[in-house]
Chains A and B, each alone.
Chain A
Amino acid sequence: MFALNRRRNRRKEGAGISVLLLLVLLLVVEQAFAVQMAVMPVEDLSQGDNGLNPSMTNRLREVLIRKGYTVVEEKRIIDFMAKKRIRRVGSLDSNNILRLRQELGIEYLLLGSVNQLRDKEPAALGISLQIIRANDAKMIWAGSVQLCRADVRKFLGLAEPQNLSEVEDIVVVRAMEIMPHNLPAISEAPKENFTEEIHLSPEVVKPGETMRCRIRFGESNVKQAEVSVSVVVGGKVIEAVYLPQEKYFEAVWPATGKDRRYPVSVSINRGQQDRKNVFAGSFMIDGQPPEITLALRGQEMDGEVVLRRQLTISAVLKEPEPLASWNISILDGSEQVVKSESGRGNLPGRFSWWGQRQDGMLAEDGLYSVRVEVWDRAGNNAGATEKFRIVRKRPELAIVTEKKGGEIQVDLNYDGKVPLAFWRVDLRSGSGAILLEKNGEKLPVRFSVPFSNENEKISCRIYGQDVLGNKIRQVIENIVSMKPRGEKTAEQDEEKSAEENAWSVDF
């Protein structure tokens, strides 16, 4: 009896283990035959450039797992992206897809992007998805789903999505519905159209300089000994040499010939059946430096451009061409640079200089020159220089008084180099009443006003402006107490210096 029970138990145990083993085997087989898929981080365009949407990435992963795909762990994808320095999400180039296949063993790749995401009412979400076959980097399926809460109107509002999260649920379900259930078979013979990378440099050269063309093959298993690469320039064939350290072919040749553009094509020969000519671009030989003219716009005096407040400098190329860089310098009379600026690319339309030195202080009056230098893309240099003068000194009017009998005689004089545009003088009594007012364009001038005693106070206000716009405003509180013929008292000197400090170049 006992032995019989033991035998039955053993049979039951054996059957249980067999079922368990069968289940494990089925699971292993299913896992082995399940399609390996990588879900790349979903780009979110609503978050600006290179935004990421982890929530949508996780949702897509979960749904694909439920559909029976073997989805590569997110950490492995992130590690791969970090290792290969892939900074952009939402797109991958063919070489990275092939590397992803080699390293993670994936068969398909899901690239997704959130095109539109609106939190505010009515909430809306739009996504687009692409499935890429890993072995030939071909986009085999693509689809997009958009949904706005306002799109879903149901009887009495029943089962309508209430918020963005519910909109997201519907969008993911719809995306999975349109996604193909059976993905196309893996292509055994991947195309290699994308495997060449060709760099032709530089784009513009001086005659005799060296041109280089580098050809790199992607992830294909190209045996370098079986491939011959050559570069064809103007009928000449230049053999490219394989550089094992750099892992690319390189053809080097001197740029000779007339100034013009030369097309370059690359010939890739993998045997009799596989020969390909690829247009690689063109380069230009440029041995002529650009011709530049300078035009200064400002006030003019005696045929010279004068800066009082601002000088406009425009530099123009006689024959316009793209430039690599430029430099503009302002030099003083001793050829010392007082201000300099440089930039890349083409010249700005014009420069404005407000007369400030590099340290921010105003440059002193004197003769200056502006020099503009340009370098074209081949490195040819050209420059132009123009002279100008800075004149900011205010006009100084000399006033001399002399008491004669019962009146004061006033002499107003000007001996500056810059001609006066106008002047005006008014004399006022102590109570502010105007005793005399004179104006004109020419100096010297003499006028007189009566006065009764030494204690009387007569103030004098002088205004003037030269042709460049420099202005003067001078106030003498009492001309009665002034020493005759220009002799000044200590008080007057103090008064003058205070006035000078108060003057401004522009008011």
Chain B
Amino acid sequence: MVGGLLARKPGETGGKVFSRRTRDGEDVPWEKIMDERKKVFCVISGVTVFLWGMFALAGCGGQKPYVQEFAPKTSHEPQGIAVLPFADRSGYDQGAKIVYRLVLVELVKQCNWRVALEGDVFKIYRQMRLTPWDVPDVEQLRIIAVRLGVDTLIVGEVLEMDEKVTPSGVSPALSIQVRVYDGKNGLLQWSSLYRREGGDYQKMMHFGMVNTVSELGKKMVQEILGVWKEKGLLSCVDS
């Protein structure tokens, strides 16, 4: 190993040759010291490259859902949440409904929030003569919130949903936008935009690979809700 003595190249200090002396009193020549240093450098750089590769493969460096806040943060326990029908801009058959159901499930699963039933939401849409792809205006949002007895409304859009079957596997892609409105005044509170592909979750070889849009949607919704909780936008209900 390289000792505490500073090793310098011959000639750098007026031709005086520096070397290291071992406990046995033997002088270790300059070339040998440099060889040892090279070995250590190679090992460290190898380990660094390996760790960096693992880090990248594990997807730990991946992006998080983008969240934009439109109102001052007021962390509150929502009394109830209603998920309004998602609009589908992707052209994927029933894409909006798939994501809608996954959002419902994750809301109940993650924090035991009181989530309005899909049947109640659609019933009010029918009563108000709104089509599922309509985005309600401020007044309609207030009415929906009051009728459902909730204070938070989630409105979303599926921007892209695709599932390409290739010889090497399935490559799903999903892009969603989720907006959260205050049911009391119908104003936009915050919004999230997120796009992921199945390969983004790949850890190594086939491990972690996501092969279905529904699995991808589930993971993405979990991540979006996770970020909301992390930022203190929504807090869990204790029950």
Contacts and interface: CB of A to CB of B under 8 A. Distances in A.
Contacts of A45: 93-94, 97-98
A197 B120 contact: no
Interface stretch (A275-283, A325-333, A420-428, A444-452): A275-283
Interface string A257-301: 000000000000000000000111110000000000000000000
A198 interface: yes
B139 A148 contact: no
A198 B149 contact: no
A129 B122 CA distance: 18
B69 interface: no
A279 B146 CA distance: 7
Given A115-B102, A116-B98, A122-B211, A48 B93 contact: yes
A147 B114 CA distance: 28
A197 B143 CA distance: 11
A146 B215 contact: yes
Given A48-B94, A93-B117, A137-B117, A194 B148 contact: yes
Contacts of B105: 128-130, 142-144
B169 A150 contact: yes
B218 A144 contact: yes
B143 A279 contact: yes
B120 A142 contact: no
Given A45-B94, A94-B117, A148-B215, A198 B108 contact: no
B141 to A, nearest CB: 11
B33 interface: no
Interface in B107-156: 107-109, 114-115, 117-120, 122-123, 127, 139, 142-143, 146-149
Contact of A146 (B97, B108, B218): B218
Contact of A148 (B98, B117, B118, B211): B211
B117 A281 contact: no
A215 B149 CA distance: 16
A113 B211 contact: no
Contact of B117 (A129, A139, A197, A282): A139
Interface residues of B, number: 39
Nearest to A140: B108
Contact of A199 (B97, B101, B127): B127
B90 interface: no
Contacts of B108: 130, 139-142
Contacts of A148: 170, 211-212, 215
Given A144-B105, A144-B218, A126 B122 contact: no
Interface string A152-169: 010000000000000000
Name, among B122, B146, B213, the residue most crowded by chain A CB atoms within 10 Å (CB to CB): B146
B16 interface: no
Q: Which of B80, B98, B119, B218 has the most CB of A within 10 A?
A: B119
A278 to B, nearest CB: 5
Contact of A194 (B101, B102, B120): B120
B23 interface: no
B42 interface: no
B214 interface: yes
Nearest to A124: B212
Interface string A372-384: 0000000000000
A197 B136 CA distance: 18
Nearest to A49: B94
A280 B122 CA distance: 17
B227 interface: no
Interface string B75-116: 000001000000000000110011001101101110000110
Contacts of A191: 149
A113 to B, nearest CB: 6
A139 B115 contact: yes
B206 interface: yes
Nearest to A93: B119
A197 B146 CA distance: 11
Contact of A281 (B94, B139, B214): B139
A91 B118 contact: yes
Given A116-B212, A122-B170, A139-B115, A91 B218 contact: no
B101 A128 contact: yes
Contacts of B127: 197, 199
B124 to A, nearest CB: 9
A99 B104 CA distance: 23
B218 A193 contact: no
Nearest to A151: B211
Contacts of A140: 108
Contacts of B211: 122, 124, 148, 150-151
29 contacts: A88-B119, A93-B119, A96-B119, A113-B101, A115-B97, A116-B98, A116-B213, A122-B165, A122-B169, A122-B170, A128-B102, A128-B104, A128-B105, A137-B120, A139-B108, A139-B117, A144-B101, A144-B105, A144-B214, A147-B212, A151-B211, A151-B215, A191-B149, A194-B148, A194-B149, A197-B127, A198-B147, A281-B139, A282-B139
User: What are the 10 A-B residue pairs with the smallest beta carbon separation, nearest first?
Assistant: A193-B149, A126-B214, A93-B119, A148-B211, A142-B108, A91-B118, A146-B215, A91-B119, A45-B94, A142-B105
